[in-house]
């Protein structure tokens, strides 16, 4: 990229705006003529006095006339200097104004170019979103050629920055099928007025356990309370594959920390070919709390049964819920946390 040249103001000439001798000619001529006339008159009038008094008087008049002449010359000089200074200021002002106008024209051109580029990027993004929507609709139009063992782990932090989600999956394609991608809805904050979360915000990390599959995430929908993602596998999955997605969901449990109670709901996706069945062969849900919260928290399922209480791999307090062949219906868990006021 070449740098655009910087426009410089025109350089003023060193002597531009200074008074010249020609500027003094007319005033000096008029002043000298008047002085000569006065001197001639005085000389003629005093010529009759030949004694010393006349000569002294004549000398004084001549000196006064010379002083008057010098005063006139000085006044002309000051007036011309002031005019020259005003002219120089005006010239510099016009030069600065011209430079500003040039810079403004360049900035306007750059803004127009940026607007055109932005318009092109928006059009490209629109085509990209349309292609993703078509891919999404096409994918949902076929029976899901796979089943999933899914383990959801929700890390409930003491503060908003500690809220995280880990999805462990074991994806098994149908015999003879190749799975190039998988669509999923990510868990977002439960507040109704929560701000929208983008895929870039959650800092997602995806990885297959054998490192033979590269997994890329593409956002399909990014709206408040809805973040839908497409996981693309390269190469396609052709055999049972274990992989995980780990992401931050800052403030996901703010309602729980503030009020002491919150509810999480989750619905497995139904099969297109058989809506009575979900794509999951097994579903496990874990709620992990810090060890110091052991006596203050408990979790119940939609049947008001308290979840199994175990110790997490990092020593955290874990409430665990699991089900085989979960139906494509709404599951709910109520979380309670009796935090002390000083926390």
| Of the candidate ranges 108-122, 147-161, 244-258, the one whose mean pLDDT is the lowest | 108-122
**For residue 89, pLDDT beyond 60:** yes
Confidence at residue 105, expressed as pLDDT on a 0 to 100 scale: 87
**Claim: this prediction has a pTM higher than 0.85:** no
**For residue 41, pLDDT beyond 60:** no
Report strand pairing: 205-208 vs 317-324.
Answer: unpaired
Task: End-to-end CA distance of the chain: give it in Å, rounded.
Answer: 55
Residue 115: pLDDT band by 50, 70, 90 thresholds?
confident
- The tens digit of pLDDT for each residue in 226-257 reads 898 989 999 999 999 999 999 999 999 999 99
- Span 318-328, average pLDDT: 96
CATH: 2.40.128, 2.60.40, 3.30.300, 3.30.70. Which one for 146-337? Answer: 2.60.40
- The tens digit of pLDDT for each residue in 199-226 reads 999 999 999 999 999 999 999 888 888 8
Residue 341: pLDDT band by 50, 70, 90 thresholds?
very low
**Where do the domains of the chain lie?**
22-138, 146-337
Better pLDDT: 118 or 282:
282
Residue 102: pLDDT band by 50, 70, 90 thresholds?
confident
Q: How many CB atoms lie within 10 A of CB 220?
A: 19
Confidence at residue 156, expressed as pLDDT on a 0 to 100 scale: 95
3-state DSSP percent of the chain in helix, strand and coil, to 5 = 35, 30, 35
**For residue 111, pLDDT beyond 70:** yes
CA distance 230 to 133: 11
**For residue 17, pLDDT beyond 50:** no
Residue 4: pLDDT band by 50, 70, 90 thresholds?
very low
Residue 337: pLDDT band by 50, 70, 90 thresholds?
very high
For the chain, give the longest Cα–Cα distance.
Answer: 145
Better pLDDT: 163 or 89:
163
Residue 3: pLDDT band by 50, 70, 90 thresholds?
very low
User: Is the backbone peptide bond immediately before 325 cis, with ω within 30 degrees of 0?
Assistant: no
Confidence at residue 53, expressed as pLDDT on a 0 to 100 scale: 67
């Amino acid at each position: 990229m070449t740098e655009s040249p910087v426009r410089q103001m025109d350089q003023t000439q060193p002597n531009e705006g200074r008074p010249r001798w020609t500027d003094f000619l007319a005033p000096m001529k008029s002043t000298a003529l008047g002085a000569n006339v006065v001197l001639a008159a005085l000389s003629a009038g005093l010529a009759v006095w030949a004694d010393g008094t006349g000569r002294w008087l004549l000398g004084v008049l001549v000196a006064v006339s010379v002083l008057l002449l010098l005063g006139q010359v000085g006044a002309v000089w000051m007036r011309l200097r002031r005019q020259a200074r005003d002219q120089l200021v005006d010239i510099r002002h016009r030069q600065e104004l011209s430079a500003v106008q040039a810079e403004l024209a360049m900035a306007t051109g750059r803004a127009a170019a940026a607007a055109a580029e932005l318009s092109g990027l928006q059009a490209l993004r629109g085509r990209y979103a349309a292609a993703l929507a078509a891919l999404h609709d096409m994918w949902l139009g076929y029976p899901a050629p796979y089943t999933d063992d899914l383990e959801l782990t929700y890390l409930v932090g003491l503060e908003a920055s500690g809220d995280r989600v880990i999805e462990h999956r074991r994806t098994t394609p149908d015999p003879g099928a190749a799975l190039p991608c998988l669509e999923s809805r990510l868990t977002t904050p439960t507040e109704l007025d929560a701000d929208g979360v983008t895929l870039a915000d959650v800092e997602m990390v995806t990885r297959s356990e054998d490192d033979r599959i590269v997994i890329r995430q593409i956002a399909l929908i990014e709206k408040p309370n809805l973040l839908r993602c497409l996981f693309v596998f390269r190469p396609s999955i052709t055999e049972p594959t274990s992989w995980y997605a780990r992401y931050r969901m800052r403030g996901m449990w703010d309602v729980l920390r503030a009020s002491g109670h919150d509810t999480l709901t989750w619905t497995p996706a139904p099969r297109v070919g058989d809506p009575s069945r979900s794509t999951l062969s097994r579903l496990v849900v874990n709620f992990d709390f810090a060890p110091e919260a052991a006596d203050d928290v408990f979790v119940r399922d939609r049947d008001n049964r308290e979840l199994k209480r175990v110790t997490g791999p990092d020593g955290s307090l874990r409430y665990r819920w699991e089900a085989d062949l979960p139906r494509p219906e709404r599951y709910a868990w109520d979380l309670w946390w009796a935090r002390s006021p000083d926390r």
